Chains A and B, each alone.
Chain A
Amino acid sequence: MKRISKRILLPLLIFVVAACVEPVEDDTISVQTDWFASTDHAALYAAELYGYFDDRNLKVEIRQGGPGIRAANDVATGRATFGLALPENIILAAAEDVELLSVFASYQESPIGLMVHESSGVSGIEGIADLSVQIFPGQVFWEVLKHETGISPAEIAFDGSMTAWAENPDWAVQGFATTNPFDARNAGAEPRMLTATTLGFRSYAGVIFTDRSFARNHPEKMTAFVAALQQGYADFLADPHAVIEYINRDINKDFLIEVGEAAAPVMQDLAVSADTESLGLGAMNPDVWNDVAARMLSAEIIRREVDAATLWTNEYLPTAQEQATQ
């Protein structure tokens, strides 16, 4: 009995006590991205590469995402300080009483959409009705568009591979305008990318968010972090090559330089808008948030109204004067 208690109960007790003890809080800001490192996370990696986090005394750890990683869950449960997701995810979380706050939009227009074959001649949502659509189940932009237009094409669960789509000219596949057309051409297809905006659903993408209580308790860190992101992103958009090389060399060898080079010009278009012209990179607009939230409610993707105004802010963006001195 004594031996059992030593061998089993003692380690169990140590485990339970260790699990109950609050982790020692350090100053590291962890950022959980939504996918494996690529230029879609350029603002973060550029700030890291050029030392803009260090300049502001921020210790930042960027964690790559992947299949099954849901940054909103990680931030809401305290496993990460910041996350990267779509505004739709922030609204979905709000509908579940999770208080997140978006502070920086990497894309003013989401690069997410559907990729069709050039030969299909499809250029809008009406043409999609006649195709089979390979898509990750539950994508908000798709569910909203289906609800609003009444189309119900055949749907196929997307496994992340473009191979089956390349073989089927009457298929559309979910894609990212920045990187997937390059992959498709490599697979021998002639793709035509229809972004969600083209299809009729404008939203932001690559939105960086945190827990609202963190923002409330650490305003200086918030301002410094967002300023570093903005400065890094501006440098990347002006000259993407160094960041692409950095991601490929030090972060994710599977992210090919050619893919990054193909993505950069697309990003230069999608990262800017009238709002970023006046307020700086990363800025957001209430109309977009309100519209997305209202359409999600109307499509019954969320079951209760959420106050979209509480889910985002531009207040941590540097002022024009601060931007000039960066």
Chain B
Amino acid sequence: MKRVLELAGPPLLVLVIILGLWSLAVRIFEIPAFVLPGPERVFETAMFESERLMTGFRNTLIASTIGLLAATIVGVLGAVILSTSRLLERALYPWAVVLQTVPVVAVAPLFVLWVGPGLVSVVLVAFIIALFPILANTLMGLVSTDPALIDLLKMQGAGRVAIFRKIRLPNSLPYFFTGMRISAGLAVIGTIVGEMVVGRGGEEAGLGYYVVFSATQLKTDFVFATIIVSTGLGIGFFLAMVGLSSLVMGRWHESELRRDS
């Protein structure tokens, strides 16, 4: 309990101070609600619109998870393939960079044509945005192994698979999780962007859809409520990655051991 308080206490205290200042500023400067609604009003609206927010949360969570999983699988496999040959890396890596720089909002309407609107298109947007950090970081981890360690294993007669399993893979894990932490947040952002331009409404509406919905109806308080839920989801994804990283590397990697000490 003490540990939880130590960890969660400082950010919660900052949150309380921010909410207090926000509420005070709205009252003192008499800021109209359509410009900046106070936190109380945002909370009230969140309660009123709870059904829509829950639907949006559920759908965004599903799409973000699928997008991140797809990016993880493709990113790791891509990194492993690229790490096997300098030639392959030189040939394919620039295209991964190109994929990252594609203006995904502009491309998203094409997905509607190719695969139809809704979940698949939204997941594609999330996937494209989340892929590169995982690919680039994992690749960096795989290729930056200490050559002395590899020589040591070679001297003992280890083959490529054994070297990969015993040296390269463990060495790449911290890099991989760094990429995952970045991509976790990006997957949520990508999903929300996708839902704004190629998402479906009704029961399939995600948080991005409701951002546009509420802005169209000049409901700034609902926009805020949607943004707060989206941010919460992004933080949840990030924390899940931190937890996963701790679970996998907690007993042996310096970065995790240092955090525990």
Q: Which A residues lie at the B interface, using CB under 8 A? A: 70, 72-73, 76-77, 89, 92-93, 96-98, 132, 134-140, 152, 154-157, 159, 161, 163-164, 167, 301, 303
Contacts and interface: CB of A to CB of B under 8 A. Distances in A.
Given A76-B32, A77-B35, A157-B199, 7 more contacts: A72-B218, A92-B217, A93-B218, A96-B33, A96-B220, A138-B215, A157-B212
Nearest to A300: B48
Nearest to B210: A137
Nearest to A134: B117
A94 B209 CA distance: 24
A92 B212 contact: no
A137 B216 contact: yes
Contact of A157 (B201, B214, B218): B201
A154 B216 contact: no
B196 interface: yes
B209 A137 contact: yes
Interface stretch (B21-29, B107-115, B245-253): B107-115
Contacts of A137: 201, 205, 209-210, 212-213, 216
Contacts of A155: 200-202, 205
A97 B220 CA distance: 13
21 contacts: A70-B215, A73-B218, A92-B217, A92-B218, A93-B34, A96-B219, A96-B220, A97-B34, A135-B201, A137-B210, A137-B213, A138-B213, A140-B217, A155-B202, A157-B117, A157-B198, A157-B200, A157-B201, A159-B109, A161-B109, A164-B117
B119 to A, nearest CB: 12
Given A96-B218, A138-B216, A157 B197 contact: yes
A263 to B, nearest CB: 24
Given A157-B209, A159-B198, A89 B113 contact: no
B212 A96 contact: no
Contacts of B196: 157
Interface of B: 32-35, 48, 108-109, 112-113, 117-118, 195-202, 204-205, 209-210, 212-220
A136 B217 CA distance: 11
B26 to A, nearest CB: 13
A155 B198 CA distance: 10
Nearest to B37: A96
A303 B108 contact: no
Contacts of A138: 212-217
Q: Which of B113, B117, B195, B214 has the most CB of A within 10 A?
A: B117
A203 to B, nearest CB: 15
B82 to A, nearest CB: 34
Nearest to A68: B215
A139 B215 CA distance: 10
Contact of B33 (A97, A134, A136, A140): A97
The 4 closest A-B pairs by CB, nearest first: A155-B201, A138-B216, A137-B213, A138-B213
Given A137-B209, A303-B48, A157 B195 contact: yes
Contacts of A134: 117
B249 to A, nearest CB: 40
A73 B216 CA distance: 11
